[in-house]
Amino acid sequence: MTTYDISQYLVPGRRAHLIGIGGVSMRPLGLVLKGMGLEVSGSDMSASLSTEELESQGIHVAIGHRAENIQGADCIIRTAAVHNDNPEIAAARSAGIPVFERAQAWGEIMKSYKNAICISGTHGKTTTTSMMTHILMEAKMDPTVMIGGYLPLLHAGHRVGHGDTIVLESCEYCDSFLNFFPTLAVVLNVEADHLDYFKDLADIQKSFHKFAEMATFGVAANGDDPHTVEAMQGIQHVSFGLGEQNRVRAENISQDWRHFDVTVDGNFYCHVDMGVMGRHNALNTLGAAAAAWMLGIDGEAVTRGVASFHGAGRRMEQKGTFNGAEVYDDYAHHPDELRATLDTARSMGNRRLVVAFQPHTYSRTKALFEDFVRELSKPDVLVLAEIYAARERNTSGISSLDLAARIPGAVYCETLPEVTEYLRQHVQPNDLVITIGAGDIFRAGEALLKD
């Protein structure tokens, strides 16, 4: 089997064809490659705002996967969700065109930067990468950015900078972040997730350990999270958190977690006034502050960057009001993320909490079923949409109906229009309504707001 060197293909004048180009990290990859001087084309299963944006930037996107789409390509880049039976992959292999993974491409890109900051963790990656982007912009470092979401500051989920720094959201699924070349790795937390790929928590910890080992400049890791502490054993790192054992700590914390001083080794570094809410975001802020301190960034830039960040798209994002109720949307799809989101919602006042939740993938719902039952029992009103399949087939026969059967008062809706209709009929003035999930549940809330 021929082994290809991706560095020979990601150069100006070459043409790269991206399969699944409308995805959250493929779209920015396509735009970054185009900014580097490559010719870029792509394909996706369906047209979307993402594919429209790509077309507007001069990148041709074919809708549907067909062998002829790859004609003229020097290399193919695919997501982990695109398998070998895809007609474009099959055609490329038949024609001897090299096929690379998305993470390999990002890894190659980051090699050319002095500072490659890779933000990892089971949750909090998008928020912390976004916050880090604000800090780097305030520090005038002109970064290149890749975020798995939308950041209002950038009007996108990516940025092509001209400085010597790149910051990337770094995902552990399928060990994809092991294709990266971090100089500075941030580990926010380590939890049992993606159990369709990893065997168990210990397997996940092993992957994070390997990732941290790759960092050539340094590692910042959550010293309050026992799973992270175990994963970092034997790796020299800067710990951050609320406990006294951490080098980077929050002190003089306000009751709502939004205001505190950041100290390093007991010395004042900066004061922060967060534009987002919750204890979990205080920890995310500490992770970003630790990375900034390690890079020698002035504390005042951290203060300004954190204050100017008011959340990434789909992270407790305020969408509007309906019938006197506030409507929010959040990307939480793991029980721990759900807990953080619901805790934040409860801190927003004593009112009825209405949640429309869409589980993400059959394997996660099955593996963490009892944890989902526990967290989803907390809202006053729970509407369950059917499971969002993403990359999977339902081989276990699991359904959101199984969750509804275990949660008193839960309402099951087979389709998103049914979710919207139920909310329309039952939302009351002063309710706090949140659509939650990593799929397309946000559409149910947006449809409600169109009324």
169 is annotated as an active-site residue: yes
Cross-strand bridge partners of residue 167: 117, 145
φ, ψ (nearest 5 deg) of residue 250: -100, 130
> Distance between CA atoms of 434 and 318, rounded to whole angstroms?
9
Out of 108, 122, 125, 128, pick the active-site residue.
125
> Distance between CA atoms of 444 and 397, rounded to whole angstroms?
24
Q: Which two tokens stand for residue 166?
A: 């790149």
Nearest to 313, CA basis, from 143, 148, 443: 148
Out of 51, 79, 126, 420, pick the active-site residue.
126
> Distance between CA atoms of 70 and 68, rounded to whole angstroms?
5
Q: Which two tokens stand for residue 385?
A: 């949409």
Let me know if 178 is exposed, middle or buried by CB neighbors in 10 A (0-12, 13-18, 19+): middle
What letter would DSSP give residue 47?
A: -
Nearest to 13, CA basis, from 60, 72, 53, 68: 72
Nearest to 316, CA basis, from 359, 350, 364, 348: 348
**What sign does the CA torsion over 78, 81, 87, 93 have?**
positive
Catalytic residues: 125-126, 169
